Amino acid sequence: MSVLDTIRKYREAGYYKEFDYHWGMTVDLDRCTGCEACVVACQAENNLPIVGESSFAQRREIKWMRIERYWEGEYPNAKLNFIPMFCQQCDEAPCETACPVFATYHNQDGLNTQIYNRCIGTRTCAVYCPYEVRYFNWFTYTWDEPLERQLNPDVSVREKGVMEKCTFCIQRIRQAKDLAKDDDRRKVRDGEVTPACAQSCPTEALVFGDLNDPESRVSKMANDPRGYQVLEEQNTSPSVVYLQKVHGDEEAI
Amino acid sequence: MTSINRRDFFKFVGAGGAGAGAGYLYAELVKRPQELLVPQVVPPEDYSPGLATWYNTVCNQCSGGCGISVRIREGEAKKIEGNPVHPVNQGRLCALGQSGLNALYNPDRLKTPLRNNNEGRFQGIEWEEAIDELAQKLNESRARRQSDRVQLLTGNIRGHVNGLIGHFMEWVGVASHMQYDFTRPANLYEANQLTFGQSMLPYYDIRNTHYLLSFGADYLGTWLSPVHNSLGYGHLRQGQTEKRGTCIQVEPRMSLSGANADEWLPAVPGSEGSLALGIANVIANGHYTGADQAEWANALTTYTPSNIARLTGISEVDIERIAEEFFTNASLAIAGGAATAGTEGVATHIAVNALNYLAGNIGQKGGVIFNSDPGFAQTSTFEHANYQQMITLAEKMKNNEVDILILHDTNPIFSMPSSSNFQEAMENVPLVVALSGFMDETTAMADLILPTDNYLESWGDDVPEPAVGFSVASISQPVVSRLYDTRSLGDILIDTARMMGTEVSWDSTEAYIQDVWSRIYAQQGGDPSGFDNFWRSALEAGVWGQETASTNQGSTVKPFPVNQLSDVSNKLEGDESEYPFVLHPYLTLTFLDGRGANLPWQQELPDPLTSVVYNSWVELNPGTAVELGVKEGDVLEVTSPSGTIRAPAFIYEAIRPDVVAMPIGQGHEQYGRYAEQRGVNPIDLVVPNFDQRSGALAWAGTRVKILKTGERVLLIKTDGITRTLGRQILGPSEAEHG
C-alpha cells in the first residue's frame, strides 16, 4: 500500500473525487540540504514580516516554511538531519476542528485555508497543530521605508491578532486556474503551478502538484517506497509526503 | 494646515449629522494624499497596472554568476527568482540571492553624494560638485604625471565593465586597478596554475560524480557556485541512474556540506592536505598504473597510511578504504574553506589536484573538466589583489605614496584582520573617494562618497566562473528605475572623464556594453542589420550561450608536475600551551564575508546549522564545554595573539574538541541599522600570516584561548529540542521498515 492510499482513506465514497484537484507536495529528504533558500522564497512571496530580534527572543518568529534540525549520535559520529516543515494541509486537520469561528476550513482543492478577516486570534488552532506550523501576529508589523515596496500585491498583509500559515501559495494556484480558463481549459496542467519554496529549491527536493492526477509528477514521487508522513500516528492525513533520506550504509534505492 | 477644497466640503456637508461629519472630516485630514486613487487615464508607459513583468539580469550577491528573473509590478521589484534558462542555476536561487531585494529597497542606502567635513560628519552635495572635485584632483595628478599615485580598489567585478574601467584608467591616468574579494579562492587559482597551467576555475562536475571527496569545501553553502553545486548534488543523490553518489567530507567542524555527507571525518585542522597525500600514497602504491607510477610512489614515500593516521587522526583503515573507493569509483576531489586557508593552502590544493590526477578524473565526466575559452576578449587591466598586495598597498598609503584612492564595493577594513592596520593607513591618503551603495566601514573613511546604483538598477555583463562547460555570457540590465539620485560605476567614470576634458564616445555604461556586444556579434559573423534583434533577444533571455566543440581534454591530460608536491602541514600561529584551541572561522551562507549582514531577511534567517539569528556565537564541542563548565549563552572571551573578542557560547555536536568555530559576517560598526553593533568579527582574531605562494591570507591558521566571563545572555535561536526522541519525524524506523 502506498502512502497515497493512506491519504485517500478519508476520501473514499467519492468525497473529494468530485473535485478537480488535491494539491500536494513531496519533500525528498535525500535531496534536501537544509540551505534555506525556500525559507526566503516564502518570506518574499507571502509578505512575511520582519519581526525583529526581540520577537525572535520570545519565539514569535513568523516563518511559514522552516528547516528543522535533528541530531543523531555523539561526536565523532554525530549526524545532522534536516527536514523542511510547513503546513501539511492535513485532510483530517486538528486545527480545523478547533477554530471557534471557522476561520480555518478545508477547501475543495484539499487545502487547509485561513480566512484572515474571520480570525479572532484565540490561537487554539496553533495549540492543536502537531506540526507547529501556525504563526500568530502578536503585533502589526511594519516595514522600514522603502522595504514595503517589495510587498507582493497578490497577497494581503496581515495585522495584529491574526493567525497565519502556509497556503501552498494559493495566489499562484488562483492565477494558474485563471490562465487555464483563459486558455479554454478546465484544468491546470501539471507543472503550471509551483509554490515559491519549490520554485527556488536548488536541489529540486520539493515537488508540487495535483495528487488526484495519477500521472502528475508529485503523484509519482509520492508513490516512492521511501515515502512516509510526519507524525503519521496522529492520523492527520497530511497532503505532504516526505521521502526518507537514504543513509550511506544502506543500499541505494 | 490642510485646507479643505470645494469637493471635500460638499462631501462633508453631505455626510449629514454633526457627529458623523466630524468623523469624516478627521478621516479626510489624516488620510494620505489621494494621488493613488486617481484613475490612470493616461497609463504609465512602462507597465500595465496589475500585470507582472519579469526582467532577466545577473545576481551580484556572490561571484557564482547566477541568472535571475525579477518580478516587476507597477514598476517595483517584487521577487527575485532564478532565470530558468540560465545554465548556471537553471531557475533556482539561494537565500542570499533572493534577499537582493532587501539591498535594493534597503532604508540605509546612500541616496546622494556626500562630502566629509573633516569633523567626522558627512554633508550632502550635488553630483556636479562631487564629480568636479574628483576630476580636479585627478587632473592635478595627471598634470604631475603621477598615475602611480592613484589607486583604484574595487570588489569583484566581472565582464566588460572592467573594459570601461580600463579605458578610464587610460583617459585620466590611473596606473593600477586592484580587485579585492575576501571570498576569492586565490589559492585554488594558484594551484591550478602550478599543476594544470591554467589560472582559471575548471568545472567540477558534482552532478555526474559517484564519489565526492571534499576537503573542507562547503560546496552546498559557500564554495564557488553554491546553487549550481546544489543542483549537481540533487542529481548525484537521486538523479543518477547507475547509483546514488556518495559524499565524504573532511573538516574539523561540520559545515552544511558535512551535514549532508555520508561520512564526516574531523581530521586535525590544517592536516587536510596531508590526508590527501596519504590517500594518494595508497593509490600510487596499490592502484595507479600510469607511466609515471614510480615517480609518484617515490614522491609520496613518507606519506604512508600509518604516518598520516598519526598526523590527521583518521584511522589507517579509513585512509585505505577511501583510497580504494576513490580510485574505483567515478570520483571527484575538491578542496576549499578553512582547509585551504592556511599557510599551505596552495600545497593543499595541489595535493587534492594530485588525487584527481591519480584517479584519472581530469577531463572526465563527473571529474574536473577544463572550460574552453569563453570566446570573449577578457580585459586584463586589473589584478586580483591578494592579502599580501593589500598589505603592500597599506604600506604605500602609510608612506604617503598614494594621493587618491578610489574605492568601489569592497570593504577591506571589515574583511582584513584589524592588525593589518589598513584603516590607519587610509587616513594618510589625501583623497579617498568611495563609490558605494552603503555606508560600510571602508566607505565611512572616505572624503567623498558617490552613491552607486544597486545591481538591479545598473548595466553590465558577466561570464560566469566556474563556467558550465560551454560559452555563456549574461547581461545585467536595470529591472527598476533608479530609486534615488545614484549613478552606476561606469557612468561615474564616464562623467568624471568628460569633466576632465576627455572625449568619450559612449554616453553611458549601457551604450558601452551594447557597443562591446555589437562588436562581439560582428566577430561571430552576425549580420550587422540583425544586431538589434539579437540584442533584444539577449536582453529578454538575460543570457547568451553557445555550444562549442567538446571541451573534454581527457585524451590530452598533461603529465602532472609531481615536483610541485610539497609540505602540506599548515603552520598554526600561537603557542599550543597558551592557546589550546584552533580557531575555525567560517563563511556562512547567510552573510558570506559580511556583505549580507545589512539584509533583514538574512539577519532573520536561522543559521542552517545552529538556527541562531541576529548574532555571533562561539561553537564548542559538548565534551569541551563540560570540561570548561560552559553552557549555551555563557559569554566567552576568545583571545588570540592578535586580539580578544567576546561572544556567547553555542554547544555544537559536530566539532573537534580542540577547535572552536566562529561564523564570519557579523560585527559591523557601520553598514546600516540591520548590521550595526551586532555580534563580533572573528577575522579580527586572525594573525595575519599568508600563503607564500599565493599571498592569500591564512585566515584559518590561528590558535586561541577561551575564558569564561561569568556573564550570560540569551542566545536567540529558533530550534527547540534537536533530537527526535522516538517521534516519527525523519521516517519510519528500521524495524518498521522491515
Tens-place pLDDT, residues A100-136: 999 999 888 889 999 999 999 999 999 999 999 999 9
| Cα B544 → chain centroid | 23
Residues B642 and B671 in one domain: yes
Whether residue B103 is predicted with pLDDT greater than 50 in this model: the reply is yes
Separation between Cα atoms, residue B65 and residue B218, nearest integer Å: 17
Separation between Cα atoms, residue A225 and residue A205, nearest integer Å: 16
C-alpha distance from A14 to closest chain B C-alpha (Å)? 30
DSSP assignment letter at A247:
P
Radius of gyration of chain B (CA): 28
Whether residue B737 is predicted with pLDDT greater than 50 in this model: the reply is no
DSSP assignment letter at A148:
G
- Give the model's pLDDT for residue B12: 37
DSSP string for B233-275: HHIIIII-SS---EEEEE-SB--HHHHHSSEEE-PPTT-HHHH
Contact yes or no for A69 and B93 at CB 8 A: no
Rounded to 5 degrees, φ, ψ at B648 are -70, 150
Using a pLDDT cut of 70, give the percent of chain B over it: 91
Nearest chain A residue to B609 by CA: give it: A69
- Predicted confidence (pLDDT) per residue in A56-104, tens digit: 999 999 999 999 999 999 999 999 999 999 999 998 899 999 999 999 9
Whether residue B58 is predicted with pLDDT greater than 90 in this model: the reply is yes
Cβ atoms of residues B432 and B446 within 8 Å: yes
Whether residue B288 is predicted with pLDDT greater than 80 in this model: the reply is yes
In chain B, what is the straight-line distance between the N-terminal and C-terminal CA atoms, in Å?
A: 79
Whether residue B25 is predicted with pLDDT greater than 80 in this model: the reply is no
Rounded to 5 degrees, φ, ψ at B626 are -65, -45
Radius of gyration of chain A (CA): 18
Separation between Cα atoms, residue A75 and residue B653, nearest integer Å: 6
Contact yes or no for B233 and A39 at CB 8 A: no
Residues B616 and B510 in one domain: no
- Give the model's pLDDT for residue B570: 87
Q: Which three cell numbers stand for residue B705?
A: 584561548
Separation between Cα atoms, residue B130 and residue A86, nearest integer Å: 51
Q: Which three cell numbers stand for residue B657?
A: 574538541
> What is the mean predicted confidence (pLDDT) over B354-379?
81
**Closest by Cα among B233, B473, B470, B469 to B334:** B233
- Give the model's pLDDT for residue B197: 86
The lowest-confidence range among A145-154, B270-279, B551-560 is: B551-560
Cβ atoms of residues B279 and B246 within 8 Å: no
Separation between Cα atoms, residue B91 and residue B88, nearest integer Å: 9
> What is the mean predicted confidence (pLDDT) over B430-442?
96
C-alpha distance from B109 to closest chain A C-alpha (Å)? 10
The lowest-confidence range among A13-17, A32-36, A182-186, B150-154 is: A13-17
Fold adopted by A3-243: Alpha-Beta Plaits (3.30.70)
Does residue B609 belong to any structural domain of this protein? yes
Is the minimum CB–CB distance between B587 and chain A shorter than 8 Å?
no
Rounded to 5 degrees, φ, ψ at B221 are -115, -55
Query: Per the structure, how many domains does chain B have?
Result: 4
> What is the mean predicted confidence (pLDDT) over B580-605?
96
Whether residue B549 is predicted with pLDDT greater than 80 in this model: the reply is no
Q: Which three cell numbers stand for residue B288?
A: 595507479
Residues of B in contact with A43 (CB under 8 A): 601, 604
Q: Domain ends where: B349, B369, B389?
A: B369
pLDDT band at B595 (very low <50, low <70, confident <90, very high): very high
Q: Which three cell numbers stand for residue A29?
A: 529528504
pTM of the model: 0.91
Whether residue B92 is predicted with pLDDT greater than 80 in this model: the reply is yes
Contact yes or no for A146 and B107 at CB 8 A: yes
Residues B175 and B235 in one domain: no
Q: Which three cell numbers stand for residue B80?
A: 527575485
Residues of A in contact with B259 (CB under 8 A): 34, 79-80, 82
Domain of B387, CATH number, reads 3.40.50.740
Whether residue B556 is predicted with pLDDT greater than 50 in this model: the reply is yes
- In A160-194, which positions are buried (b, 16+ CB within 10 angstroms) versus exposed (e)? ebbbbbbbbbbbbbebbbeebeeeeeeebeeebbb
Cβ atoms of residues B175 and B387 within 8 Å: no
Does residue B720 belong to any structural domain of this protein? no
Does residue B337 belong to any structural domain of this protein? yes
- Give the model's pLDDT for residue A16: 59
Residues B405 and B496 in one domain: yes
Cβ atoms of residues A54 and A139 within 8 Å: no
pLDDT band at B346 (very low <50, low <70, confident <90, very high): very high
Cβ atoms of residues B507 and B131 within 8 Å: no
Of B93, B256, B724, the CB nearest to A33: B256
Separation between Cα atoms, residue B245 and residue B237, nearest integer Å: 5
Residues B340 and B278 in one domain: yes
- Give the model's pLDDT for residue A3: 64
CB-defined contacts A:B, below 8 A = 214
Does residue B1 belong to any structural domain of this protein? no
> What is the mean predicted confidence (pLDDT) over B435-442?
96
Residues B357 and B262 in one domain: yes
Residues B214 and B357 in one domain: yes
Range of the domain at B297: 202-369
Residues B514 and B607 in one domain: no
> What is the mean predicted confidence (pLDDT) over B210-230?
96
Residue B547, classed as helix, strand or coil, is: coil
CB contacts under 8 A, B 592-631 vs A, are 600-602, 604-606, 608-609, 611, 613-614, 621-623
Residues B234 and B303 in one domain: yes
Whether residue B511 is predicted with pLDDT greater than 50 in this model: the reply is yes
Is the minimum CB–CB distance between B320 and chain A shorter than 8 Å?
no
C-alpha distance from B733 to closest chain A C-alpha (Å)? 10
Contact yes or no for A200 and B722 at CB 8 A: no
pLDDT band at B117 (very low <50, low <70, confident <90, very high): confident
> What is the mean predicted confidence (pLDDT) over B594-621?
96
Whether residue B31 is predicted with pLDDT greater than 50 in this model: the reply is no
Cβ atoms of residues B465 and B201 within 8 Å: yes
Residues B408 and B524 in one domain: yes
Contacts of residue B438, defined as CB under 8 A and 6 or more positions apart, other chains included, come to B106, B108, B109, B110, B598, B671, B672
Does residue B700 belong to any structural domain of this protein? yes
Residues B640 and B694 in one domain: yes
Nearest chain B residue to A59 by CA: give it: B718
Separation between Cα atoms, residue B143 and residue B173, nearest integer Å: 9
Separation between Cα atoms, residue A21 and residue A27, nearest integer Å: 19
Q: Which three cell numbers stand for residue A9?
A: 482513506
> What is the mean predicted confidence (pLDDT) over B29-49?
60
- Give the model's pLDDT for residue B544: 85
DSSP string for B451-473: EBPPGGG--EEE--SS--SSEEE
Between B5 and B242, the higher pLDDT residue: B242
- Give the model's pLDDT for residue B176: 93
pLDDT band at B467 (very low <50, low <70, confident <90, very high): confident
Cβ atoms of residues B709 and B646 within 8 Å: yes
Residues B358 and B507 in one domain: no
> In whole numbers, what is the pLDDT of chain B averaged over residues?
89
- Give the model's pLDDT for residue B379: 62
pLDDT band at B14 (very low <50, low <70, confident <90, very high): very low
C-alpha distance from B235 to closest chain A C-alpha (Å)? 8
CB contacts under 8 A, B 210-269 vs A, are 220-221, 226-227, 230-231, 233-234, 237-238, 243-244, 246, 254, 256-257, 259-260, 262-264, 266
